[in-house]
Structure 1
């Protein structure tokens, strides 16, 4: 069968970009004697540098009763060190034109800066000092705890969609902490003690548990000199034993219904699936990525063409899967109902499941598969053209225990995935015994 012209044209346009992205001639990697990994990518198109320090610790590492530790520690890292008073880095960075921030994820804690090339040494010195001598003063903890609690109230407790997602994700990961909220449960925050944060810091903030990523208008040799100067003297430490978070293969169908201050009924279906790190067949994650795109990616996807524009039962529907994770993942489908054509959530749910069943019975057409493949490749290539996104990409791979070479292999495998591979992935992984169902209904519809 002939390849669709639109897919062929975009594919031809992307070929040189893919070759450029995969070769990465300006990317350098080395490891200091103390175990700190360093990734440097030279790009001299603009006089700017993005620096990121990734620690391999996040909410998925936290034991029950201590949720939110990694995020709370991220906040406290700016409360002073041997060279800096609390918050002193802010005016220094502003004077030098440096912008900085931090973020906590399920698998990582990240500190990042956008830096003029001449100020990179200052940024690295600050990050190295925080790694080795952060003060974490008890006198500042109570105030910072209130800031974190307010952040949780504003972003989750008072946000109906986020509140609904938090509980359903927690149910979707019955065998691991991958579904724990990054910010932590409110009752864990209220009883968190500064000594727990200090222990977490001593356990995980070590050079042999971190990766420094520098991308932009820099010279790799100069960065190696700076990294060795500021991070080299920090002693490596023994790290706690940790295993990748794996899920039950068939935990059973789970359903949660929430009645909250939400005007429009909302449905989420989440299937427990492997990631690139946990798959046993190299075709699994690429097939799942294409399967997700076929279901709810572009406008021509099955769910959008059938239930959004066709029957008009939905005002929004999307499918998401990311294979870059250190543990098992979810393939998620989210749908928002159209109030002008009201249908029970259970009926819409069955129609979505019927679309999935159709892929189990009949493989997708070659044309549909090529369109999905082209969209994924385009996003992959163009996202890496942005320097900050490229740094994030390097970090996400490293945290997952993957390399850019392995991801290049993933893209090559993705190009070879067949319609039958898609059918097999749907039959194997999109099953009821791997499914978590979340119904969100307006509070006023609840009958006590």
Structure 2
């Protein structure tokens, strides 16, 4: 793998506190922008449950979607546990319009009619109980099992009840408290002149007023909640095994080294578990192993695979295999393809304007220096077999595991029919 040269990048802060990173990439006449706020469900008190999601939807009404489509721009909005981001990809000759569009999220009018409409939609959504589950989509009950003991967990019933109690004044107060320039970061990447874009950003965002941001202390979740297991009948075509290991976040570790090792370990398991499980003489196919991205608070390392036969035997087989992984380290030759795979995926993301703006934003939101964007490949290449072995032993423990046996609904219906007969 060859590290690409770092594009010219500049950082500055406006007088109102808005942090800005601009990065020059002139390969296309396009610009990728991402505006992110440090706000989300993790900052909600019980009486605020659901407000972050309402504002995530409500602020989309501030976009002139017709004109965005007319000029060929694309936009995207997403919310996480402690962030709300807005992304735009636009032709570079419409940069000023794109900046003005993003700046409206700091000065939105939020009419009663629009807020009430958004609130009603969220109440209806919160009452829907989906039975669909996959390797990356879990049931509310399994989410509750994984987050056992965490003060950040929001039970669906509590969310619905609070949404029904919310007033429009509460929603506006949350918006005014958190959607301020000194609680945001703007990343601009693309066909720009570094000196010229600063003036443009000041013109579009400078009028927004700095505000006092509320203080919310970080609360540590239990480091090892203990082994947890459940069985569910859901909308899955085949029996599905889900094993989620709670792993430390960046605040609770000395650095990001263990997270890089988990990335490599995930790729290793994807390539080796199906083959090694086959030695047990049973069908353990279509395995997916994933890790969540860097998080300030907590992470999850997920292993998911379809199985046949007794679920407790399938779980025992996998845990036996993981014990082998923890007992005997992978060799340098074995981890090299996994590292190459991770490096390739990162370089592919960084080859796009959206990928660069997203990676810079992700680093800042997780409390890391944005300059690490140009070191990500080198850092992954520095992962050693000892790093992977040490991380596997620290993270893949029974005390950190939540296990779900997800069985098809058809099996439950068959059992009910037999019982009635």
| TM-score, normalising length: structure 1 | 0.83
Among 96, 102, 114, the residue aligned to 1:121: 96
Contact map agreement 1:50 1:215 (CA 8 A) in 2: yes
Alignment partner, residue 109 of structure 1: 84
Segment drifting more, 350-359 vs 282-291:
282-291
Superposition pairs of residues 244-323 of structure 1, within 5 angstroms = 244=218, 246-280=220-254, 283-296=257-270, 301-307=271-277, 311=281, 313-323=283-293
Instruction: Give the Å deviation of 1:278.
Output: 3.3
The answer as to 2:44 corresponding to 1:26 is no
Superposition pairs of residues 338-377 of structure 1, within 5 angstroms = 342-377=308-343
The answer as to 2:297 corresponding to 1:327 is yes
Alignment partner, residue 225 of structure 1: 199
User: For each residue in 1:106-136, what CA deviation from the matched residue of structure 2 results, as whole angstroms up to 9, or x when unmatched?
Assistant: 231112222222221122223223302x122
Contact map agreement 1:277 1:324 (CA 8 A) in 2: no
Instruction: Give the Å deviation of 1:200.
Output: 1.5
User: For each residue in 1:328-361, what CA deviation from the matched residue of structure 2 results, as whole angstroms up to 9, or x when unmatched?
Assistant: 2111111122xxxx21221111111111100111
Superposition pairs of residues 149-298 of structure 1, within 5 angstroms = 149=123, 157=130, 159-161=132-134, 164-176=138-150, 180=154, 185-244=159-218, 246-280=220-254, 283-296=257-270
The answer as to 2:357 corresponding to 1:382 is no
Segment drifting more, 391-400 vs 139-148:
139-148
Among 47, 65, 73, the residue aligned to 1:90: 65
Alignment partner, residue 53 of structure 2: 71
Q: Give the Cα–Cα distance (whole angstroms) in 2 for the partners of residues 246 and 308 of structure 1.
A: 39
Distance 1:290 1:78, change over 3 A: closer
Q: Give the Cα–Cα distance (whole angstroms) in 2 for the partners of residues 55 and 231 of structure 1.
A: 14
Distance 1:406 1:240, change over 3 A: same
Find the residue that maps to 2:287 and give its secondary structure. strand
Contact map agreement 1:117 1:218 (CA 8 A) in 2: yes
Among 380, 392, 396, the residue aligned to 1:430: 396
Q: Give the Cα–Cα distance (whole angstroms) in 2 for the partners of residues 307 and 223 of structure 1.
A: 55
Q: Give the Cα–Cα distance (whole angstroms) in 2 for the partners of residues 336 and 189 of structure 1.
A: 37
Instruction: Give the Å deviation of 1:242.
Output: 2.7
Q: Give the Cα–Cα distance (whole angstroms) in 2 for the partners of residues 384 and 178 of structure 1.
A: 32
User: For each residue in 1:278-323, what CA deviation from the matched residue of structure 2 results, as whole angstroms up to 9, or x when unmatched?
Assistant: 3225532222222222222xxxx22132237985623321211245
Distance 1:198 1:345, change over 3 A: same
Instruction: Give the Å deviation of 1:221.
Output: 1.7
Distance 1:280 1:350, change over 3 A: same
Q: Give the Cα–Cα distance (whole angstroms) in 2 for the partners of residues 178 and 409 of structure 1.
A: 32
Segment drifting more, 71-80 vs 29-38:
71-80
Instruction: Give the Å deviation of 1:166.
Output: 3.6
Contact map agreement 2:79 2:85 (CA 8 A) in 1: yes
Alignment partner, residue 45 of structure 1: 27
